[in-house]
Amino acid sequence: MGRPRFLYVPFWLTYVFLYAPIAVLVVMSFNEGKSPYLHEGFSLKWYGVLAEDDKVMEGLVNTLIVAGGSTVLATVLGTLLAVGLARHTRSKLLDALGLMPAILPDLVLAIGLLVFYDVVQFSLGLHSVILSHALFGMAFVAAVVRTRLAHADSSLEEASRDLGAGPVTTFVRVTLPQLAPGIVAGALLAFTLSIDEFVIAFFTAAPTEPTLPIVIYSMIRFGVTPEINALASILLLVSFTVVIVAQRMTKIGEFRAQD
């Protein structure tokens, strides 16, 4: 006997609550008029306005630079952190400290980084945002890679060492190929987190080099416009695409692990 249909009501209400605002935002981004709340006809003009807005384009370029740089750093450091915690330490304290940046509130981490940069007299700019995003991004990469490590075949590493391969050769030729899907998924996650991160960037960026979320914040203080809706829709599309690719890579890794 099937379950009563009323049991599915909370399930669907939850989905409506989560995605209805997003749907409204996307629909209103194609608005002909200037009203952010009343749809006056279908139009792509606000996407064209974005392309002509120098401030938005500058924020976009800065965001891509930050996201790209921080993703590379987070991926390398996060992968090494995951392998080190999984294979070379049994300390729960070190395990917790390694993943702490992913648990700390963004505001606490942002203030801590700002104070640290001030103490060591490290100038603020895109480089400081890259380092800051890499710090919390590597914790997420480490978490994803560790999940992949749990399914890796350690006997292959043992066989490699038995055949005379050194630790570096074994890691590069045996361990990394097994971790590749997890590394890619972690990198995509770090990239997604970076492109729409606001709090840490707000505290650690230079006023003359704002990222896109900071630009959106400065625009939305004067009210919501279809231009902001269009910009948010683009970020939503990028995030959605990255998540789909990351899920796909994770499934490929699980399928290969089963083989």
- Model confidence over 103-132: pLDDT tens digits? 888 899 999 999 999 999 999 999 999 999
14 in a structural domain: no
Amino acid at 159: A
CA distance 128 to 206: 9
For residues 160 and 173, is the Cβ–Cβ distance under 8 A? Answer: yes
Taking 90 as the threshold, does the pLDDT of residue 243 lie above it? no
What's the pLDDT at 68? 94
Does this model's pTM top 0.85? My answer is: no
Of the ranges 48-62, 121-135, 165-179, which one carries the lowest mean pLDDT score?
165-179
37 in a structural domain: no
Taking 60 as the threshold, does the pLDDT of residue 241 lie above it? yes
What's the pLDDT at 141? 93
Taking 60 as the threshold, does the pLDDT of residue 254 lie above it? no
C-alpha distances in Å from residue 226, one per residue of 49, 83, 128, 159: 10, 46, 32, 60
24 in a structural domain: no
Average of per-residue pLDDT values in the chain: 83
20 in a structural domain: no
What's the pLDDT at 259? 54
1 in a structural domain: no
Out of 7-21, 107-121, 150-164, give the one with best mean pLDDT: 107-121
What's the pLDDT at 165? 76
State the residue range of the domain holding 161: 53-258
What's the pLDDT at 201? 94
If one counts the domains in the chain, the total is 1
Taking 70 as the threshold, does the pLDDT of residue 2 lie above it? no
38 in a structural domain: no
For range 16-37, the mean pLDDT: 83
Taking 60 as the threshold, does the pLDDT of residue 53 lie above it? yes
Per residue in 189-203, pLDDT (tens digit) is: 899 899 989 999 999
115 in a structural domain: yes
Taking 70 as the threshold, does the pLDDT of residue 211 lie above it? yes
251 in a structural domain: yes
The CATH number for 245's domain is: 1.10.3720.10
What's the pLDDT at 76? 94
What's the pLDDT at 91? 66
Taking 70 as the threshold, does the pLDDT of residue 258 lie above it? no
CA distance 44 to 61: 22
What's the pLDDT at 117? 94
Q: DSSP string spanning 51-78?
A: HH-HHHHHHHHHHHHHHHHHHHHHHHHH
For residues 185 and 144, is the Cβ–Cβ distance under 8 A? Answer: yes
